[in-house]
Structure 1
Amino acid sequence: MKNAVEIKNIRKVYKVGDEKVIALNDVSLEIKAGEICCFLGTSGSGKSTLLNLMAGLEKPTRGTIKINGKNVEKMNEKKLAKFRQEHIGFIFQSYNLLPSLTALENVSLPLTFRGIKKKVREQISMDMLEAVGLKKYICHKPTQMSGGQQQRVGIARAFVSKPPIIFADEPTGNLDSKTTHEVMQLMLKIAKENQQTLVIVTHDKSIAEYADKIVYILDGNIEKIEEK
């Protein structure tokens, strides 16, 4: 099985005043295509920094990051934006839905950026909302939905264009335990059905249990890796 992600000797240093803060220190990792991988660590461990580097949202101080065979650290902003549109979906802890748009319009956004015609993208988005159990809420705006429903909209938006890789940053951080279980089961089901790679960042060990591979991160280093 080919690798969806290849990280080699990644180091990330931030300058805070006159001090240097090492967020990641010589991290190397491979994630196979179709794998459910979890980065597990406490706040400040470097796990979210690693996700941001993989997504091209930040540049490493040194090292290489390949996503689907492409070096993201070498891309300029224009190429990165196009690459993310075609290869990556995002799920956020705070949902990041646009408040002025309906559920259908929020889910349609990735398809809009790809230039898909309105009638086609609305049908695809409606099918996706039905798949996450929100058929009755297509015309609702975020303020008219619960946290769990908003996160389902976020999941539908991330998966709607069927990107090869989904990055989920603390995707259940704002949800109760019952809704957390439902949301995790939903993400895994869709990812497995579409043979997508799912990378989850969390501090919650119970979330990590859903993964095929758990990468423990501590003080900017990979402490250990567990594979099921």
Structure 2
Amino acid sequence: MKSIIEIEGLKKVYVMGKEKVVALNNIDLSINKGEICCILGTSGSGKSTLLNMIAGLEKPSKGKIIIKNKPVHKMNESQVTKFRQKHVGFVFQSYNLLNNLTALENVAIPLVFGGESKKIREGKAKKILDLVGLKDRLSHRPNQMSGGQQQRVSIARAFVNTPEIVFADEPTGNLDTKTTMEIMDLMVGIAREHNQTLIIVTHDPETSVYADKIIRMRDGNIESIEYNDKEIIRNENEN
């Protein structure tokens, strides 16, 4: 498979008063196009920091982040924002829906930046809301839906413009077991159908079983990388 994300020597250090906290310590990682990838670790392991670095939400202290042969680590805020609008989708634990908008309006938001007409935007939003099982909730606002329904809207919004990469940060953290399985089936199913790269950050080992690649994080290091439940790579710099 062809690589879509390349990370080399990635380091992130936060300065807190007189102390320096190393959140990421010289990370090297390659993620392929169409790969379902899970970044797994406990709180403080560096998994969310790694996602934020890859997504261009934070700048690294050192190292390279190359996505689609573009140096994201060198982009300014305007450049990285445009890059995300074109190539990236996000699913969040807290859904991040706009409470004053309907499900249809929330899902159509990413399409506004593409300059498409309202009719086309709403058509695409309706189609994907139908796909995630919410065709009868188009006019509902977030406070009129359950947590699982809100996350389905969030998934529809992330996938509506068919981005090449979707980041999901603890996407099932607020959901029960049954709904978690439904949401994971939904995200992975859509990603596989369109050969999209899906990167999931989670602390839940059960969520990681959906992934092609499991990246285990500990103390800012990649502890191991596993494929199909078989560990084949271990970071020599772990200790």
Give matches, 1:1-228, under 5 Å.
Answer: 1-228=1-228
> How big is each residue's C-alpha offset from its partner over 1:64-105, in whole Å with a ceiling of 9 and x where there is no partner?
001121111100111111000001000000000000000000
Once residues 71 and 164 of structure 2 are traced to their aligned partners in structure 1, the CA distance between those partners, rounded to angstroms, is 16
Give SS of 1:137's match: coil
* Alpha-carbon RMSD: 0.5
2:53 maps to amino acid: L
Q: Distance in 2 between matches of 1:197 and 1:56?
A: 16
Using the size of structure 2 for normalisation, the TM-score is 0.95
For 1:61, give the aligned amino acid. Answer: S
Distance 1:37 1:73 in 2: 21
Q: What is the rounded CA distance, in whole Å, between the counterparts of 2:69 and 2:87 in structure 1?
A: 11
Percent identity (aligned): 63
Moved more, 66-75 or 199-208: 66-75
CA distance in 2, matches of 1:66, 1:196: 17
C-alpha distance in 2 between matches for 1:159 and 1:68: 18
Residue 2 of structure 1: how far off its partner (Å): 1.2
Offset at residue 109 of structure 1 (A): 0.3
CA displacement 1:98-153 (0-9 Å, x = unmatched): 00000000000000122111000100000000000000000000000000000000
Structure 2 distance, partners of 1:170, 1:69, is 27
The corresponding residue for 2:232 is: none
Q: Which runs of 4+ in 1 moved over 6 A?
A: none
Runs of 5+ unmatched residues, structure 2 = 229-239
- Aligned pairs, how many? 228
